[in-house]
Chains A and B, each alone.
Chain A
Amino acid sequence: MTKTLTITVNALTRVEGEGALHVQVNGDTIESVRLAIYEPPRFFEAFLRGRKIEEVPDITARICGICPVAYQMTSVHAIENALGIRISLGVRQLRRLLYCAEWIESHVLHIFMLNAPDFFDCHSGIELAEHFPDQVNMGLRMKKIGNGLLELLGGRAIHPVNVRIGGFYRLPTRDELARQLPDLRWALDAAVKSAHWIAGFDFPEFNIECELVAMKHASEYPMNEGEIASTRFPSIPVDRYEEYFGELQVQHSTALQSVRRDSQTPYFLGPLARLELNHGNLTPQAKKLFQDICPPLPLRNRFHSIIARIIEVVHAFEEAIAIIESYSPPSEPFTEYKSHASRGCAATEAPRGMIYHHYEIDDRGSVVSSKIVPPTSQNQLQIEADLREYLPRFLQESDETIASECEKLIRNYDPCISCSTHFLTLRLERT
């Protein structure tokens, strides 16, 4: 006996941005799974044209309020690559510090407010706090310390103002940074404690093979530099990204979906991919945690993302402390440059996965064209593929259960739907 079942989650909750899920089931067969992103397009690539390169970081930041640093910095790196600008070592360290701060702020928010509630059937981080006040308060304080570092380096935590091509507008003083150390050391301990708490969660078994992609650097955990590594294929330099990875606009989906060009297959980005490909370059305490609490490789259970995230938080606190302890201000806040007609690209690791930008610049230093590929559009096809695999185990349950289990799976990818540089609106359904 077959029956056709349509499950619609009208509004995905506890994800950044807005999206919906449509699933069609015929008897035991899943006919379609569509992650519908109804975030309306905002046309960033269109209106970057004609703007001066100096204006780009302030505009690209507005793509996403959750990871503005990743957008700002990827555009800055791409433009610097185009113009051949070499930044000083000190500026490079401060940029890593900025990434550490954003990873902390974004990961901790995701862990405690968005993701952890699922493991205890709570509706929100606030509800979770009723059951685990110490842990959630510790999380909020870690987040605050991450925000404080972002505010010091960037001027403010959301849409920082201090990033510019060639470096920063103003350098922090050694004292200003050193004042953060006691808090950061407290937070490092708190993050290690949280990691042990999280490792004890009850994780659903959900291992399916797929290609993991992340940046990889010879000597550091990747944030703003490296090659593009994969669990299936040899690494490629960033400037060959567009040869290997493409975007499709498909009728059944609402967003451009990234695929491997040759095989037309999805791939998976984010903390699990980074950790699997780069655990050798973790800082000491993070490495110890990786050995003590991390499930054995290969990391394929999507629900373990929260463990990878907290290990990265520990890494980020440790690295931030090390950078501050050895900091001496560079001689200039930024490198001077002259612009000329050129092209350049860059990829960096946003908290939720690799992000790619490409710019073409004219001889007066204005943008001719740009291409921006956010992590969510790269993960989107993988999320749909995973839902197809995951759904059969719930098909006998009520629609409500199916919907809520799908939502839980989706949250592990931390999809950031606001980054709608590329998202289409196909179907609008709201409750």
Chain B
Amino acid sequence: MNLLQPPPSKKRLGVFKFASCDGCQLSLLSCEDELLEVAGKIEIAHFLEASSEIKPGPYDIALVEGSITTPSDIERIRHIRQQSKTLVTIGACATSGGIQALRNWGDHEEFISCVYTNPAYIESLATSTAIANHVSVDFELRGCPIDRYQLLEVLTALIADRQPRTPQHSVCMECKRRGTVCLSITRALPCLGPVTQAGCGAICPAYDRACYGCFGPAAQANCPALSQHYLATGTPATKLVHALRNMNAGAEIFQIESDRLERGSPER
């Protein structure tokens, strides 16, 4: 990391987890080359997965993984917000409710009894929601999982007191940059790249498969236009509904579009 001016004192970092798979936190531990260096520039005050030393807040930077799925989560995220100067959500769970937001379309009681013989012990909400639905968020890092270089950019920026720079454009731009032949055009695959935010490096098309939207909607994504194109070229509506209802099913733009497709509504 290249810091022009080292901060006067180390910033205090807290990493917090709600409903999630731990993959986004792991991305921080996967910065093998940078890990010890980053660790030298910040004070890791709270990071249960990495350290058994737990120090109380306040924190300069809070990285929050996971979505809100229990009543006590709501209390806890409020408390973390009060303790934190800058709060950054990491990953699709924290920014759009994650894969567990699929429950938002289901019957919660029935889901519980489908999995557990004794539903009475379960404490969970009927919805899985993003952190921003409950407290204010300073920066959202997309992806399921997040990209570790983007994470390093965010940390570096916050240590240096500047705004992080991450792209807002769609995956198609990354495909072009990578020189990948477009799967939508050449093979009529229902690729979500045009409406998905860049950041992954357009991995899926490079591996011969359509983008499945794990970074969530790009800014100004025009989902209805894309669905119309895919419906016209023979993709069944249910397939598009499923494509939009994955780890970013709860992101507003994807949610509206999947509902619209499910209703079979013709309006744009």
Beta-carbon contact of B99 and A62 below 8 Å = yes
Residues on B with C-beta less than 8 A from A159 are: 23, 144-145, 214
Beta-carbon contact of B203 and A62 below 8 Å = no
Q: Nearest chain A CB to B235's CB is how many angstroms away?
A: 13
Beta-carbon contact of A158 and B76 below 8 Å = no
With known contacts A18-B17, A46-B106, A418-B20, A143–B32 Cβ distance under 8 A: yes
Q: How far is the CA of A367 from the CA of B227 in the complex (A)?
A: 25
Q: How far is the CA of A45 from the CA of B112 in the complex (A)?
A: 10
Of the candidate stretches A190-198, A219-227, A283-291, A423-431, the one touching chain B is A423-431
Beta-carbon contact of B122 and A41 below 8 Å = yes
With known contacts A158-B26, A249-B118, A126–B36 Cβ distance under 8 A: yes
A66 sits at the interface (CB 8 A): yes
With known contacts A62-B99, A64-B21, A65-B23, A124–B116 Cβ distance under 8 A: no
Beta-carbon contact of A41 and B32 below 8 Å = no
B208 sits at the interface (CB 8 A): yes
Q: How far is the CA of A55 from the CA of B20 in the complex (A)?
A: 19
Interface residues of B in 16-48 (CB under 8 A from A): 17-27, 29-30, 32-33, 35-36, 39, 44, 47-48
Residues on B with C-beta less than 8 A from A22 are: none
Residues on B with C-beta less than 8 A from A420 are: 19
Beta-carbon contact of A62 and B207 below 8 Å = no
Beta-carbon contact of A64 and B22 below 8 Å = yes
With known contacts A11-B48, A13-B52, A123-B52, A425–B115 Cβ distance under 8 A: no
With known contacts A41-B124, A52-B242, A124-B52, A47–B22 Cβ distance under 8 A: no
Beta-carbon contact of A63 and B21 below 8 Å = yes
Residues on A with C-beta less than 8 A from B32 are: 140-141, 143-144, 147
| A interface, over-half SS | loop
With known contacts A46-B114, A126-B39, A424-B122, A13–B48 Cβ distance under 8 A: yes
Q: How far is the CA of A45 from the CA of B25 in the complex (A)?
A: 24
Q: How far is the CA of A161 from the CA of B211 in the complex (A)?
A: 9
Q: How far is the CA of A230 from the CA of B20 in the complex (A)?
A: 33
Beta-carbon contact of B115 and A41 below 8 Å = yes
A86 sits at the interface (CB 8 A): no
Residues on A with C-beta less than 8 A from B242 are: 51-52, 55
Residues on B with C-beta less than 8 A from A124 are: 44, 47, 50-53
A113 sits at the interface (CB 8 A): yes
Q: How far is the CA of A137 from the CA of B32 in the complex (A)?
A: 9
Interface residues of B in 214-268 (CB under 8 A from A): 214, 239, 242, 246-247
B209 sits at the interface (CB 8 A): yes
With known contacts A126-B50, A424-B121, A42–B206 Cβ distance under 8 A: no
Total cross-chain contacts (CB, 8 A): 194
A59 sits at the interface (CB 8 A): yes
Residues on A with C-beta less than 8 A from B206 are: 155, 170
With known contacts A42-B100, A425-B123, A428-B70, A158–B247 Cβ distance under 8 A: no
Beta-carbon contact of B209 and A161 below 8 Å = yes
With known contacts A40-B69, A124-B50, A16–B22 Cβ distance under 8 A: yes
Residues on A with C-beta less than 8 A from B100 are: 42-43
Q: How far is the CA of A62 from the CA of B73 in the complex (A)?
A: 20
Residues on A with C-beta less than 8 A from B49 are: 13-16
Beta-carbon contact of A428 and B72 below 8 Å = yes
Most B C-beta atoms less than 10 A away, residue of A46, A52, A66, A155: A46
B117 sits at the interface (CB 8 A): yes
Q: How far is the CA of A64 from the CA of B267 in the complex (A)?
A: 39
Beta-carbon contact of A113 and B106 below 8 Å = no
Most B C-beta atoms less than 10 A away, residue of A141, A418, A422: A418
Residues on B with C-beta less than 8 A from A266 are: none
Instruction: Select from chain B the residue with minimum beta-carbon distance to A64.
Output: B21
Interface residues of A in 123-138 (CB under 8 A from B): 123-127, 129, 136-137
Contact among A45, A123, A424, A430 for B114, CB-based, below 8 A: A45
A353 sits at the interface (CB 8 A): no
Beta-carbon contact of A426 and B121 below 8 Å = yes
Beta-carbon contact of B115 and A13 below 8 Å = no
Instruction: Select from chain A the residue with minimum beta-carbon distance to B239.
Output: A52
Q: Nearest chain A CB to B143's CB is how many angstroms away?
A: 10
With known contacts A42-B99, A63-B21, A424-B122, A126–B116 Cβ distance under 8 A: no
Beta-carbon contact of B50 and A129 below 8 Å = no
Beta-carbon contact of A113 and B50 below 8 Å = yes
Q: How far is the CA of A127 from the CA of B103 in the complex (A)?
A: 41
Interface residues of A in 61-99 (CB under 8 A from B): 62-66, 68
Q: Nearest chain A CB to B189's CB is how many angstroms away?
A: 11
For the complex with contacts A43-B112, A47-B106, A124-B52, 10 further pairs of A-B residues with Cβ separation under 8 Å are: A11-B54, A40-B69, A43-B102, A43-B103, A49-B114, A62-B247, A126-B36, A156-B145, A170-B208, A424-B121
List of 10 A-B pairs having minimum Cβ-Cβ separation, nearest first: A65-B23, A124-B51, A123-B53, A13-B52, A46-B111, A144-B32, A65-B21, A47-B102, A158-B145, A140-B32
